Structure 1
Amino acid sequence: MEALSNADVLVAEHEVLDVIRTHARTGVSVVQMDADPSSVSPPGTGTPQLTVVDGTSTTAAVPAAARDAAHLVMEAARGGRRVVRAVPGDPGLDTYAAEEMLACAAAGVPFEVVPGVAAAVGVPAYAGVPLRDARGADVRFVDARTASDRCWTEVGASDGTVVVSTTLDAVAAAAGELVSAGRKPDTPLSVTVAGTTTRQRTWSATLGTIAQTLKQAKVLPSPDGGRPVIAVVGERSAAARRDQLSWFESKPLFGWKVLVPRTKEQAASLSDQLRSYGAVPHEVPTIAVEPPRTPQQMERAVKGLVTGRYEWIAFTSVNAVKAVREKFEEYGLDARAFAGIKVAAVGEQTAKALVAFGVKPDLVPSGEQSAAGLLEDWPPYDPVFDPIDRVFLPRADIATETLVAGLIELGWEVDDVTAYRTVRASPPPAETREAIKGGGFDAVLFTSSSTVRNLVGIAGKPHNVTVIACIGPATAKTAEEHGLRVDVMAPEPSVHKLAEALADFGMKRRAAALEAGDAVTRPSERRPGARRRRTTT
């Protein structure tokens, strides 16, 4: 993880890009070795592409002279950049990693090797298929592409577990070799494609039925038949108990592409939570934050905090906390400047931002996390107990007057200060816009009415198969006004409760499919013209 997060350049095949995109820092250059995954090509025959992983960049072709992975690594390293060459599984078992390391050594380019988990071991673990049980057993590993007749004979004569590395369209042939060598046709077998990724899929069968199983699943015949797979064979491999041990593919949002209309900074913890449910979050900023056009009012208010002008300061967003914190740092101040001032916060994320700043809020709404909810708990001004009657309210330029009017009604004087401006963000890349409108996303999380309006404005309306999840009634109403049907609503206005509600929706959807004897599919896999059933949680 440390190597990935510190890298300036990452060179990898498409199979490991999920890991790279999760752990790479913003702005890192990623060289994608886009060789055809259905064939094994020698070094230099792929078509690498240079991609900047920041969610908004474009992809540019790498010149033909730089198409060899070792050459790309060495050129970047000679330029003083920190390079990571990521391979599927363990580098010691990768087909060409040794050749690339030898090339670096010959050129005098220093390198280090970070061991990984071999696919033949890691993939069964993610598929819920242990290779041994308490009784123990031999475990043998076979590469079907290079296995000799003698190898098949020895493995077939054994009663141990066999882990076969092969391709999807060659699984049946490998099963036939084992049966011919003496294995019983009813020996349990599991086959996993795209193992350890959110595209993983596993089928359980026997040596004698695997061909029919793959045909019934409509994965063969297929142009993707050359995709690598890991097959596990053996009575002790627990393939027959996989329905109890499948921990990865049974996650409630497994493989779902979830659109999160927030900045990466705002969406970090939410995206981590979605990943824990098996989803693939895609962050699309819908709002850009800019400084106020006239900063003098904000400067006076911050100075007033230090001179004792205010009894209260109320933060209604993370951006307000950030704006005040930046002014503090500009003036050489820190959290100690809040001494003697009562602090209010709306929303769990706002409260967390304050705690990170070193300030514990004195007041957070006990009910609805909104201006109205804050007013429900805000004390009226009492000249006996409150020596100062003024409240500092740093907010966005488009904030409503609900909070100001309510505080005045409670007897407080309010300095309503524009701390930042919100403007509509730039449109996302064309492929993201097309995925939004074309049903490429399985779900979208709306955390405010503005995210609904701005997403529709910059990217278009989500497709009717996309599950719409809203943080509360006001956001849901805005979504419906834009022609969207709301499927999921958070039980309380919290982004984490919203993610939990979506996961619960996904779990119920999965359970219903299994109970009906249907295959578990993602919403985006439904027919474009299919009507979506309304289910509000």
Structure 2
Amino acid sequence: MVYLVGAGPGDPGLITVAGLDRIREADVIVYDRLISERLLDYARADADLIYVGKVPGQVSGADVSHDQDAINQILADKAREGRRVVRLKGGDPFVFGRGGEEAEALRAAGIPFEIVPGITSAVAVPAYAGIPVTHRGVSASFAVITGHEEPGKPQSAVDWSHLAAAVDTLVFLMGVKNLPEIVTNLVANGRPETTPVAVIRWGTTPEQSTVTGTLADIAERVAEAGLTPPAITVVGEVVRLRENLSWFEDRPLFGKRVLITRTRRQASELARLLAAQGALPIELPAIEIEPVADTVPLAAAIDRLRDDGYAWCGFTSANAVELTFEHLAERGLDARSFGGTRVFAIGPATADALRSHGIAADV
């Protein structure tokens, strides 16, 4: 079985509940370049993680991971082994994600599949830049267009005259390289040069950056800012709303990189709190907590604790709490072992850890 799962636009919090469930259950995860790798933390420890990301403008040579036919083959081969395969794709699989092609290949190979839609960057990224794609009195329609079509293509799949005249908001995906041609085509087909434009790079992530302008100057502004892919382009009067609706880039720690050196288990919660304030947390655990090799003294202390041999028992860290209760569990014991012994905790995190095991610290 293969699950084609949309990972959302970059912020790992934007994946769907169904998508996260599939990641947790997967035997194999075949993932793209633009997904948040923090989502892979939810995978089982024994799951195979296979990277098949494609970098625009780069050819990988012998690396078949960048070839679509090879990706299709990987999906089919792993599924035939009887494994649950998740194909994790940025945004939504069916919005310029080649999910339809992969589903066709699976159907042709006789492999069952399931589609798990994701939040497309075409809507989420403008929202994180404070730009609604529709707005009463401003925009009643929007279109999502590939910006990756080769300039000068003899028969363009894009109806420029219709887009320029009949659609209020235009969202171009993957269009930074071709931005000058996009602008030229829109203006040549009647879109006013004064039309507002926004180009948003790495949208929904702490690295998000936004350049605004008009059709007359946006290509020059983007070049001056050194904006490179991945980015999307929004064309339309709704861009003016950003001045009043910008929120994501206004958070107190936006754009700050924060190195976290705590243990991985403790770092994850801190990383979540920092990310909520706009920071880019980088987890680099510098310490690792391991149980003592000689557990005889601890076992003796627990035996004495159960016999009410202590008036007080103190914990200096949450790690000490967890290791103690792991040892209790190994012996089939729990918080009842503390009996009438009073307990003190140093620090609120230690007190919280005790509370999670059913003990309210006396001090």
The TM-score bracket by the shorter chain reads 0.7 to 0.9
Measure how far apart 1:274 and its partner are. 1.4
Q: What is the aligned partner in structure 2 of residue 9 from structure 1? A: 28
- Counterpart amino acid of 2:123? V
- Aligned residue among 179, 193, 198 for 1:171: 179
Structure 1: distance between partners of 2:252 and 2:41: 20
**Change in CA separation of 1:45 and 1:190 when aligned onto 2, cut-off 3 Å:** farther
Measure how far apart 1:179 and its partner are. 1.2
Contact in 2 for aligned 1:45/1:67 (Cα 8 Å):
no
Q: What is the aligned partner in structure 1 of residue 17 from structure 2? A: none
Specify the SS of the correspondent of 1:319.
helix
- Counterpart amino acid of 2:271? S
Structure 1: distance between partners of 2:29 and 2:201: 24
Structure 2: distance between partners of 1:195 and 1:112: 27
Q: Are residues 1:301 and 2:301 paired?
A: yes
Once the two structures are superposed, residues 418-450 of structure 1 have per-residue CA deviations (whole angstroms, 9 ceiling, x without a partner) of xxxxxxxxxxxxxxxxxxxxxxxxxxxxxxxxx
Contact in 2 for aligned 1:204/1:240 (Cα 8 Å):
no
Structure 1: distance between partners of 2:157 and 2:316: 71
Measure how far apart 1:282 and its partner are. 2.7
Specify the SS of the correspondent of 2:51.
strand
Q: What is the aligned partner in structure 2 of residue 321 from structure 1? A: 321
Q: What is the aligned partner in structure 2 of residue 217 from structure 1? A: 225
Q: Which has the higher contact order (CA 8 A, sep 6+)?
A: 2
Once the two structures are superposed, residues 465-499 of structure 1 have per-residue CA deviations (whole angstroms, 9 ceiling, x without a partner) of xxxxxxxxxxxxxxxxxxxxxxxxxxxxxxxxxxx
Q: What is the aligned partner in structure 2 of residue 70 from structure 1? A: 72
Specify the SS of the correspondent of 1:287.
coil
- Counterpart amino acid of 2:308? G
Specify the SS of the correspondent of 2:34.
helix
- Counterpart amino acid of 2:65? P
Q: Are residues 1:252 and 2:260 paired?
A: no
Specify the SS of the correspondent of 2:213.
strand
**Change in CA separation of 1:159 and 1:302 when aligned onto 2, cut-off 3 Å:** closer
**Change in CA separation of 1:258 and 1:293 when aligned onto 2, cut-off 3 Å:** same
Q: Are residues 1:201 and 2:209 paired?
A: yes
- Aligned residue among 27, 50, 57 for 1:31: 50
Specify the SS of the correspondent of 1:212.
helix
Structure 1: distance between partners of 2:331 and 2:282: 37
Specify the SS of the correspondent of 1:205.
strand
Segments of 5+ residues of structure 2 without an aligned counterpart are 1-19, 150-154
Q: What is the aligned partner in structure 2 of residue 187 from structure 1? A: 195
Identity over aligned residues, as a percent? 36
Q: How many residues align?
A: 338
RMSD, aligned CA:
2.8
Structure 2: distance between partners of 1:275 and 1:26: 24
Contact in 1 for aligned 2:34/2:90 (Cα 8 Å):
yes
Q: What is the aligned partner in structure 1 of residue 107 from structure 2? A: 105
What pairs up with 1:411-450 in 2 under 5 angstroms? none
Q: What is the aligned partner in structure 1 of residue 95 from structure 2? A: 93
Q: What is the aligned partner in structure 1 of residue 262 from structure 2? A: 262
**Change in CA separation of 1:90 and 1:259 when aligned onto 2, cut-off 3 Å:** same
Structure 1: distance between partners of 2:333 and 2:235: 65
**Change in CA separation of 1:251 and 1:333 when aligned onto 2, cut-off 3 Å:** same
Specify the SS of the correspondent of 1:16.
coil
Bigger-Rg structure (1/2)? 1
So what's the TM-score if we normalise by structure 1? 0.58
What pairs up with 1:332-351 in 2 under 5 angstroms? 332-351=332-351
**Change in CA separation of 1:166 and 1:80 when aligned onto 2, cut-off 3 Å:** closer
Segments of 5+ residues of structure 1 without an aligned counterpart are 50-63, 364-537
What pairs up with 1:35-54 in 2 under 5 angstroms? 35-38=54-57, 47-48=64-65
Specify the SS of the correspondent of 2:288.
strand
Contact in 1 for aligned 2:263/2:289 (Cα 8 Å):
no
So what's the TM-score if we normalise by structure 2? 0.83
Measure how far apart 1:159 and its partner are. 6.3
Worse overlay, 144-153 or 92-101: 144-153
Q: Are residues 1:157 and 2:160 paired?
A: no
Structure 2: distance between partners of 1:339 and 1:243: 61
**Change in CA separation of 1:113 and 1:100 when aligned onto 2, cut-off 3 Å:** same
Q: What is the aligned partner in structure 1 of residue 355 from structure 2? A: 355
Measure how far apart 1:149 and its partner are. 8.6
Contact in 2 for aligned 1:141/1:163 (Cα 8 Å):
yes
